[in-house]
Amino acid sequence: MGKYYIAFDCGTMGTKTALYSIDSTRVAEAYRENKISYPRPGWAEMDANCFVNNVREGVRECLAKSGVNPAEVRSISASGIICGIVGIDENWQPVTPFVPYLDNRAGGEAKWVRENVEPVWVEESGNAIVDEFMPPMILRWFLNKYTGFRENAVKVVNNGPFVLGTLAGLTAKEAFLDWATMSGWLIGYDAKARNWSGRQMKALGIPMEILPRIVRPWDIVGFLCPEEAEKMGLPSGIPIAAGAGDTMQSALASGLLEPGLATDVAGTASIFAVAVSEADSRITAAPGMMFATGTLEDSYFYWSMIRAGGLSLRWFRDSVANRAGDPMFYAEMDTLAADVPAGSRGLLFYPYLQGAGPDMPGACGVFAGLFGASDRAAMWRSILEAIAFEYAQMIKIYRECGIPLNEIIGTEGGSKSPLWTQIKADILGGAYNIPTRSEGGLMADVAVAAYAVGDIEDIGETMRQWITFRGRFEPDAKNAAVYRRVFEERQRLLAGPMKELFEGLGNIRNI
């Protein structure tokens, strides 16, 4: 009898579901796009049950494609968005939309906390940042602004645990959150204890009763309930492991297993992560730098995020090119953009479609340098370059702190683009290594699922055996020289004229 595992990743743009065998072979996979609503400028929200429905459909598709006997599925695990929450009632039904990191409705809450609360999280959580996209700020907004939340919400959870809890038929009193996803809240927890901080939550005005219990990623949190089993074509009673946050699982699946290694998680939010042995006050103090606990015990890393990094590409596809849902669009545009010289003929893009944090209030997406001769290819390349330029500022901070970062691992959907990977190597001045497998965090989800039921002995060692690399991109000296000059000018504009532009555009939006 075979051993198979179901893994799914509830991301922002889509939900990936896969069926794996014990040797890490991906037997079948399915993908469903997630719908994101933008009810107001700067707001973003999703239907939490959309993730559940997409997983149900994905599991049925994987079983149909593979022909695997459902009785051979040993366990289920998942990853999900670390910066985003949904309120649930006592019966595990959503009472709010799922509000992800793309949203900035909690800007007022973040401002109040920055101005009125002692930042004890710097010591306990390893983070200095307080921003609108963080779950504690969204939770404060729910508590203070969302009609009926205090009366109806019993717990809040992230989207991955929400789906897993639905599959297990849990009630709110059984709500859970793994320690890796918890660190995606950025503040409100003790990084060393890997648990909530009552001291911080009291200062933030968040009642401890609304928070889920913290578990390890491989803890069994329930078993597939009969109702959900019937919907997916599986036997009931399959063990369900808690899983971990998508950023942490993508980092683990890329091989971020030793301090000093770096990975580019090229998903909806473009995330750059660097493994460390402990928090570093110099990095913590730098704008946009966030400290996190990894999936494994005693694993830590810093990460920075461009909220609408990969989303900028989908926005261009859907809203500019009017090619929503076209799977060939990205490769087609890469082919055209490859003929555009480095620097996109002076066209710059600032990828702040959903804001850029407290250091750049009012920031928004901007194309600068458009002429009549500017075409789709130049615009596309400028978006690709923009993400790499944002990374360049992050890498500058690490290198100033003595971390050279000459080797970078690329993962998730963006790593499939040779053009984008070469642009990143040129701009960042380091070699880019591409894993043989591009499924990202799903592979780590499978390792967690297998470990949870005793089918493997060590997650880290298993990942080392599973990870291989298929490509390496070295910086092109000529393009790198061009990009260094463009980066300097871009940063100069960002430090002055662009801030004034963002302020002025904000004033216009408020008229």
Q: What is the pLDDT of residue 343?
A: 98
Are 83 and 131 within 8 A, CB to CB? no
Spell out the long-range contacts of 107-116 with Cβ–Cβ below 8 A and sequence spacing 24 or more.
107/42, 107/132, 108/141, 109/137, 109/140, 109/141, 109/144, 110/134, 110/137, 110/358, 111/358, 113/137, 113/140, 113/204, 114/358
Give the C-alpha separation, 349 to 359, whole Å: 18
Q: What are the structural domains, with CATH classification, of the chain?
A: 4-242 (3.30.420.40), 255-306+405-471 (3.30.420.40), 309-392+477-509 (3.30.420.40)
Query: 3-state SS of 453-466?
Result: CCCCCCHHHHHHHH
pLDDT of 244 strictly over 80 = yes
**Amino acid occupying residue 95:** V
pLDDT-wise least confident of 19-23, 340-344, 435-439, 477-481: 435-439
Torsion over CA of 448, 124, 261 and 179, rounded to 10 degrees? 10
Would you say the C-alpha torsion 196, 199, 201, 202 has a positive or negative sign? positive
Phi, psi of 82 (to 5 degrees): -80, -30
Q: Interior CA angle at 509 toward 504 and 511, to 5°?
A: 95
Higher pLDDT, 480 or 435: 480
Q: How far apart are CA 169 and CA 174, in angstroms?
A: 10
Nearest to 124 by CA among 305, 304, 249, 293: 293
> How far apart are the C-alpha atoms of 295 and 252, rounded to whole Å?
7
What is the per-residue pLDDT across 255-312, written as a single tens digit (0 to 9) for each?
Answer: 999 898 999 988 888 999 999 999 999 999 998 899 999 999 999 999 998 988 999 9
C-alpha torsion sign, points 119, 120, 121, 125: positive
> What integer is the mean pLDDT of 427-433?
94
pTM as predicted = 0.88
> Could you tell me the sign of the dihedral formed by the alpha carbons of 209, 44, 380, 54, in that order?
positive
pLDDT per residue as tens digits for the range 194-236: 999 999 999 999 999 999 999 999 999 999 999 999 999 999 9
- What is the residue-averaged pLDDT of the chain? 95
358, pLDDT greater than 80: no
66 backbone dihedrals φ, ψ, rounded to 5°: -85, -30
C-alpha span between 382 and 385 (Å, rounded): 5
Task: Say which residue the tokens 């494609």 belong to.
Answer: 65
